[in-house]
């Protein structure tokens, strides 16, 4: 018998993800076309924001670790955690990431790093304390799937022009001055163009924000699916998600604010700071995720 059917792709998810990425690309192209047509001097802007994103791309792992207070642990410090990661990497053929522990009681986990060779997978003490080992394994499978899917790179690229648009919106005042200054004799025209740029940027910003969030949610579902395939146990991830979401909603005080401070560090909202649990719009609602995992369980039994 060949491989079971459930290893097949999820055509629906692939299609939705493709559609969102296509819309985002189309939106960005239109945005650039408008900027070019209005002769907005954006070389400078693109260079600055590009530079910031590249810097974030290369240093995000260290910055996130520093901001969250997570610490990379050696094999001797956390043998069991390393053992779980070892097995997962061995099964899934993903290069072994570094493993870090964050000293908080809120059960959570996240993955950072620009590519699989520079990845750091972090779990909190609360996660290890409250979850069974095979639930921890399922959560790590989810994070490793993010690493394998290069979600940091994908989301950084996807956010590029959204960032440009948001800077344009927020710097409208500055642009107003530019409109006045550059307009010279045709002062009125320059001002109108600046307002137009501002309006276009607002629309692009709003639309791309929604699209990026949608993309983020689809990639979460893809990572859930990846975890189920790597570990062979969709129901373990399901029970881990239930436990985490219960705990996080109950104990969201200091620790969560701390992680939010980390998010503010970066200019891109959709930074791959995968808090499995923070049920904000970057993640699909719990019941959607559970339904997908249940479906996988059923397919496995066929």
Enzyme catalytic residues: 143
**Residue 219 interacts with another protein (CB under 8 A)?**
yes
Instruction: Pick the stretch among 92-100, 121-129, 172-180, 250-258 that binds another protein (CB under 8 A).
Output: 92-100
- Residue 294 binds another protein, judged by CB under 8 A: no
Say whether residue 289 binds another protein (CB under 8 A).
Answer: no
Could you tell me which of 297, 166, 222, 239 has the C-alpha nearest to residue 20? Answer: 222
Residues that contact another protein, how many (by CB under 8 A): 52
**Cβ-based neighbours of 148, under 8 Å, separated by 6 or more:** 92, 94, 116, 226
Of 50, 51, 133, 285, which lies in the binding site for another protein, with binding defined by CB under 8 A? 133
Taking the C-alpha atoms of residue 265 and residue 268, their distance in angstroms, rounded to an integer, is 9
Q: How far is CA 45 from CA 48, 52, 163, 175, 197, in A?
A: 5, 11, 10, 12, 14
90 binds another protein (CB under 8 A): yes
- Contact between 1 and another protein by CB under 8 A: the answer reads yes
Burial 177-191 (b: 16+ CB within 10 A, else e): ebbeebbeeeeeebe
18 lines the binding site for another protein (CB under 8 A): yes
Distances (CA, A) of 39 to 4, 32, 36, 184, 197: 56, 10, 5, 15, 10
The correct pick among 113, 190, 234, 284 for binding another protein (CB under 8 A) is 234
**Is residue 218 involved in binding another protein (CB under 8 A)?**
yes
Q: Does 87 interact with another protein (rule: CB under 8 A)?
A: yes
The residues of the shown chain that bind another protein, judged by CB under 8 A, are 1-4, 7, 9-10, 13-14, 17-18, 21, 75-76, 79-80, 83-84, 86-87, 89-93, 95-96, 133-134, 137, 145, 148-151, 154, 218-219, 222-223, 225-226, 229-235, 297, 300-301
């Amino acid at each position: 018998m060949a491989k079971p059917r459930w290893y097949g792709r999820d055509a629906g998810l692939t299609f939705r993800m493709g559609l969102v990425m296509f819309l985002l690309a189309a939106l960005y192209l239109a945005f650039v076309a408008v900027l070019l047509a209005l002769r907005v001097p954006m070389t400078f802007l693109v260079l600055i924001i590009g530079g910031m994103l590249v810097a974030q791309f290369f240093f995000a792992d260290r910055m996130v670790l520093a901001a969250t207070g997570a610490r990379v642990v050696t094999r001797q410090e956390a043998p069991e955690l390393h053992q779980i990661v070892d097995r997962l990497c061995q099964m899934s053929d993903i290069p072994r990431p570094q493993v870090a522990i964050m000293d908080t009681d809120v059960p959570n986990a996240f993955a950072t790093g620009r590519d699989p060779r520079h990845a750091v997978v972090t779990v909190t003490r609360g996660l290890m304390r409250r979850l069974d080992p095979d639930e921890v394994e399922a959560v790590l499978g989810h994070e490793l799937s993010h690493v394998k899917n290069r979600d940091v790179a994908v989301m950084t690229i996807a956010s590029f022009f959204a960032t440009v648009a948001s800077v344009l919106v927020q710097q409208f005042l500055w642009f107003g001055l530019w409109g006045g200054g550059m307009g010279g004799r045709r002062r009125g025209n320059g001002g109108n163009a600046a307002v137009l740029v501002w309006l276009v940027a607002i629309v692009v910003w709003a639309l791309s924000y929604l699209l990026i969030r949608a993309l983020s949610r689809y990639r979460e579902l893809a990572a859930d699916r990846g975890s189920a395939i790597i570990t062979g146990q969709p129901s373990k991830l399901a029970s881990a998600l239930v436990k985490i979401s219960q705990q996080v909603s109950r104990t969201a005080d200091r620790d969560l604010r701390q992680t939010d401070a980390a998010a503010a560090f970066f200019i891109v909202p959709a930074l791959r700071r995968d808090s499995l649990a923070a049920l904000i719009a970057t993640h699909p609602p719990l019941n959607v995720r559970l339904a997908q995992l249940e479906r996988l369980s059923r397919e496995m039994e066929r």
